[in-house]
Amino acid sequence: MGESGDDAHTEKDRNKRWEMAFKARMRQIIPGLFLGNVEASHKQDMLRENRITAIVSLTDARWVWWNTTTREAGIPEQRHKWVQCADSSTQDLLAYMNDICDFIDQMASPALLSSTSLEVQPEHYESNVEPRDVPSEAILIHCDLGISRSPTIIIAYLMRKYAMKQDDIMEFIQFKQKVKPSANFLRQLQVWEEVE
């Protein structure tokens, strides 16, 4: 018997998701701060093109090629923060948030440091970054897929930087890149918001 139309459609969707997972992706969220996946973290041309000078890696395994790749792309080891963590219902990111936010501030470009407010009106969002919009230095925050852990940290950082609520930051980021932090991480962001 042949494959039904629904089965073929499901297989096509599954293949598209796998392709998306393994294709290097990074998107500027605000000038000087990029969200990406693990594939983007070791693509030298992509790192150089986006002027990435520091990286925060949120993964459950240390990737062997990072040290060589990031050095070749001009990113020294002290500008690469790696936090071993999993996208699980028990992972505690809250314990790392302050330290990671401090690291981002230490590595921040002048454009990121000087930013004092975040436009939250959707009509101001741009989905495509023009080369002139890319500052001379930028930080890449990534996890495996760029969907849950890394957006959680970016949300936490922007909440702290702009003294804004989680929902407002999440809305802003969703216009830039579709993300889906886990329920566990959303609860931790709520605590982050409560303790300011």
pLDDT digits (tens, 9 = 90+) for 117-136: 886 544 444 444 444 455 68
Mean predicted lDDT score pLDDT of the chain: 83
Q: Cα–Cα distance between 114 and 117 in angstroms, integer?
A: 9
What does pTM read for this prediction? 0.82
Q: Is 131 helix (H, G, I), strand (E, B) or coil?
A: helix
Instruction: Give residues with Cβ within 8 angstroms of 162, minimum separation 6.
Output: 116, 117, 118, 169
CATH of domain 25-119+129-195: 3.90.190.10
Tell me 74's DSSP state: T
pLDDT value, residue 131:
44
Segment (H or E) for 21? helix 5-22
CB 124 within 8 A of CB 22: no
For residue 67, pLDDT beyond 90: no
List, for residues 33-63, the tens digit of each pLDDT value: 999 998 898 888 999 999 999 999 998 876 6
Q: What is the pLDDT of residues 158-190, one digit of tens each?
A: 999 999 999 999 999 999 999 999 999 999 999
